[in-house]
Amino acid sequence: MDEGVSRLIDLALAEDIGSGDVTSEYFVPADSRSRAYIRAREEGVIAGTEVAAEVFRRVDGDTEVKILLQDGARVVEGALVMEIQGSSRSVLTGERVALNFLQRLSGVATLTRRFVDEIKGTGARILDTRKTTPGWRLLEKAAVVAGGGSNHRMGLYDRAMVKDNHLAAEGGLDALQKAIKQLGEEMPGVGVELEADHLQQVEAFLKLKGVDQILLDNMSLDELKTAVSLRRGGTPFLEASGGVKLDTVRAIAETGVDFVSVGAVTHSAVGLDLGLDFMEG
């Protein structure tokens, strides 16, 4: 497991348990053992099963956890996602933290799938952004993939994304081309994306060498179609961005762009309704 995710689990458990689970310690017999299931209470897409399972194991290494549905699985109300067996106290202590991870990440996957389904058949793909919960980026981006989306850059280090403020400080196209060339020579594995606010910029950027992707920021449908027509061949890739919603994403994808980036899949996702139920007897 990723070291950052591992630390996040430990922080979440420490935050919730503190000096101890007083309810379980005083109201649940120490020798009580139980079997419980995490169950979907509404339709959606599951994500975060491994991290949820790890929560229960961190609380008690003797807890047995069986993942019944893998990340990316579509669920209906009543579907069983995970089985947990062990000390009743331990299961109860881990319940909320495990569900917090699973519900949040399944919400991201579910919303992503809705966007992906909306543009089915267009040839475009849904991208996430860096608008993620601090500390949760790796998990939320994995949830986007579980929902059928694709990841944009993970951070500032794995792709150069030159925006309007960078361009204002750069000093013109010649300086921009020089910087692209230098980056390509010194860090050949890092892609280059340029943000265009208007079609004149698109035309200028298409003349540069070494550009992998152009972000078309807040352009109208007609402007997006024109930008696509200006490109000769399949590169650089074109990405539409800016205030994309479920009721607008298909029209955007139908302009012919390669990607539509949607910050909402992470910053506006609502947790999927999941619950943990103990089996009687």
Strand partners, 127: 150, 261
Tokens of 222: 């007609």
Instruction: Please identify which of the residues 140, 195, 239, 258 carries the catalytic annotation.
Output: 195
Q: Can 222 be counted among the known catalytic residues?
A: no
Verify whether residue 178 is a known catalytic residue: no
- Catalytic residue from among 57, 96, 114, 225: 96
Is 64 a catalytic site residue?
no
Q: Has 58 been annotated as catalytic?
A: no
Measured between alpha carbons, how far is 134 from 140 in angstroms, rounded to an integer?
10
Set 41, 58, 163, 225: catalytic member: 163
Residue 243 burial (CB count, 10 A): 9
Q: Angle at Cα 191 formed by Cα 198 and Cα 243, nearest 5°?
A: 40
Residue type, 1: M
Instruction: In whole angstroms, give the CA distance from residue 86 to residue 102.
Output: 20
The active-site residue, picked from 57, 58, 131, 225, is 131
Alpha carbon distance 237, 127 (integer Å)? 13
Q: Does 223 qualify as catalytic in the annotation?
A: no
Residue 184 burial class via C-beta count within 10 angstroms: exposed 0-12, middle 13-18, buried 19 and up: middle
User: Closest by alpha carbon to 263, among 244, 239, 238?
Assistant: 244
The active-site residue, picked from 83, 217, 223, 254, is 217
Give the residue numbers marked as catalytic. Answer: 96, 131, 163, 195, 217
